[in-house]
Structure formats: structure tokens, C-alpha cells
Amino acid sequence: MAEAVLRIQNLTKNFGGLRVTDDVTLDVMPGELHAVIGPNGAGKTTLINQISGLLAPDAGTILFAGEDVTNVPVAARAQRGLARSFQITSILPRFSVLENVALAVQARRGTSFRFFGHAADEEVLNAPAMAALAQVGLAERADALAGELSHGEKRALELAIALAMEPKLLLLDEPMAGTGHDETERLVAVLHSLKGRFPMVLVEHDMTAVFALADRISVLIYGRILASGPPAQVRADPQVVTAYLGEEME
């Protein structure tokens, strides 16, 4: 059996008296899309934040590409190939769309302690950035200011930034959050095209999208994993239906 890209073991996190991550064990295999679903407040974003390093867990370990990264800082994890998108769009609004993505390329290519030369004109950075933009359908907006994009376009930009990092794992925190019907369809199509090429952890509320995309689904309720398995199995799980899917699937 191939080795997991990401292996989380017995992860626990408390906010004061509240246990937001409760003994979570989960893994992502190469090429796998592992969806994490659950009601609001189940601790999905908290889990993503611990994986990307923005929050330190109280207990448990995170193994990424066979290495224990539990205490590795955010930037160093990103350098190792852990890319993430944010539920609430996090971009550089005053930079052009292209520069937002080119910065992610720059993080992986050569040194950034270069004090001369016009970074915005560097073809070695712009070409891969354009390629990432093309993958999410934003190539035509490359010269626009990131802050002036529509909400759906910003969501696509988040994805392009993550792709430009040449990631070994994509952590997607509600990539479709707040998008309209057409935009959701477009993003789902983009995710479909990425599936298999990158292992992904997908946190999402859109159940149609999740069941269409996921190889495996874990259901998180009150910080605990209630059920984990292939979509068909999770959909049929009576516990999951009572606790979560019942209301969502109607």
C-alpha cells in the first residue's frame, strides 16, 4: 500500500473549555480527494488551520509526506508543498491578479532575497503563474487588480494561488463559499480537472459538489469524526443521516 501524503493522528484542540478537535485521525492517500463535511461549528476550519500550521494542536501529530510537521511553522510547511485556500478570501487586493499568483511561484523558485530587477516582469515567474490562472479560467483577468474581481473570480484566484505553489497537497476550505450557481458549477468543473493530479482535503457545504467529487468523506460533528468512508457508504450511514445529512439532503 502506498504511503499517505497526509496522516493526522489523534489530533486534539481545545478553545478554553470547548473541545473543537476531538481525537481526530484521518489520512489522505496520493491522488485522493478526501472531503470533510459537517454542520457549522463542527471544527472543520479549525482542523484545516492545524494542518496548515496557523493553529498548534494540544495533542496529536501531523505527518506530511512522511515527515512529522506538527511543530513546523506555517511558511516552512508551505515550502514543503502544503497549499491552502481560505474560506474567507485572502488575497493581495492591491496587487494584480497575475502578481498574486506570481508571488506563489516566486516562493518556490529561487531566492526572494534578490534586491534588483523588476519582479513583475520576470517571465520565469509570470509564465507558470499564467498557466495556473488558465487552469482556473482567470487568464483573461491577469492584469486586473485582485481587489476588483467579482466574488466568484476571487474564489478562483485563491485556487490559482494554491496551484502555483506546485503543491503536494491542497487544503481547500470551502472553495465555493458564497458563490452563485453558475460560479459554483465552474469551480466544481475546475476541481474535477484537478482531481487525481493533486491530493486534496476539501471542506465544503455544497453536498452535491462533495458527493460528485470525493473519493472519501469524513463527517465531523462537534470536533469528532462520526463516520469516514466512500461516498455511498457515508450517505447510507444512519448515524450520519440523523446527525447531519437528513437536513442537508432534502
Could you list the residues that contact other proteins (CB under 8 A)? 52, 54, 73-76, 78-79, 83-84, 86, 90-95, 99, 103-104, 106-108, 111-120, 122, 143, 161, 165
In terms of CB distance, is 143 or 250 closer to other proteins?
A: 143
CA–CA distance, 144 with 17 (Å, rounded to integer): 46
Q: CB 86 → other proteins: shortest distance, Å?
A: 8
C-beta of residue 203 within 8 angstroms of C-beta of residue 175 = no
Q: Tell me how far CA of residue 94 lies from CA of 36, 88, 97, 213, 248, in angstroms.
A: 33, 17, 9, 34, 38
In terms of CB distance, is 141 or 216 closer to other proteins?
A: 141
Q: CB 93 → other proteins: shortest distance, Å?
A: 7
In terms of CB distance, is 17 or 117 closer to other proteins?
A: 117
CA–CA distance, 102 with 96 (Å, rounded to integer): 10
Q: CB 10 → other proteins: shortest distance, Å?
A: 25
C-beta of residue 217 within 8 angstroms of C-beta of residue 48 = no
In terms of CB distance, is 50 or 184 closer to other proteins?
A: 50
Q: Give the containing element (helix H, strand E) for 220.
A: strand 216-221
Q: CB 26 → other proteins: shortest distance, Å?
A: 20
DSSP state letters, 89-121: ----TTSBHHHHHHHHHHHHSS-S---SS-GGG
C-beta of residue 214 within 8 angstroms of C-beta of residue 228 = no
Q: CB 206 → other proteins: shortest distance, Å?
A: 23
Q: CB 195 → other proteins: shortest distance, Å?
A: 22
In terms of CB distance, is 155 or 216 closer to other proteins?
A: 155
Cα 228 to chain centroid distance, Å, stands at 19
In terms of CB distance, is 118 or 181 closer to other proteins?
A: 118
Report the 10 Å Cβ neighbour count for 148: 12
